[in-house]
Amino acid sequence: MKPFFVLLLVFVIGILAQKWLADDIDYRLAARIAMACMLTFTAIGHFAFSDGMSAMLPNFFPNKKGIIFITGLMEIVLGIGLLFPQYRYGFAWALIVFFVLVFPANIKAAIEHIDYQTGKMDGPGLSYLWFRAPLQLLFGLWVFFSAIQGK
């Protein structure tokens, strides 16, 4: 839920800043800035809660903590890439693929009641997916419409 609020808050701030500074609003730019900030925010969780997030990965993955750190760095790089007009199209597609690839970890966390912050099996469970699945779809559509569509 926090990433969603970060996304919306930064989007509104981006619109207000553009209105105040330039009197011209580029909603797609504000959306890309918001996504980059939201991804940086969520990436912090990869470093702060690496033990809990490691529990979300299937057991066959080696070096789970390393994968969590790498995916955190990927979130930052992909988000920043959205801000460069000449690269945003490629970074946007990579980010959409990234969202699809990490979603199974959210499914595993829901099925096993994993709390991503602690790694304990006392998380919200399957009810979490009723929120997370549409949210993940929203993130993908947000990237598509702010960085790909109408290129």
Listed by start position, the domains of the chain span 2-148
- Which residue in this structure is represented by tokens 């066959």? 60
Residue 141: predicted pLDDT: 97
Measure the CA–CA gap between 142 and 35, rounded to whole angstroms. Answer: 8
Residue 151: predicted pLDDT: 62
pLDDT tens for the chain, residues 1 to 151: 899 999 999 999 999 999 999 878 999 999 999 999 999 999 999 999 999 999 999 999 999 999 999 999 999 999 999 999 999 999 999 999 999 999 999 999 999 999 988 888 998 888 888 888 999 999 999 999 999 987 6
* Contacts of residue 138, Cβ cutoff 8 Å, sequence gap at least 6: 4
- Which residue in this structure is represented by tokens 């980010």? 95
Residue 129: predicted pLDDT: 82
Residue 128: predicted pLDDT: 82
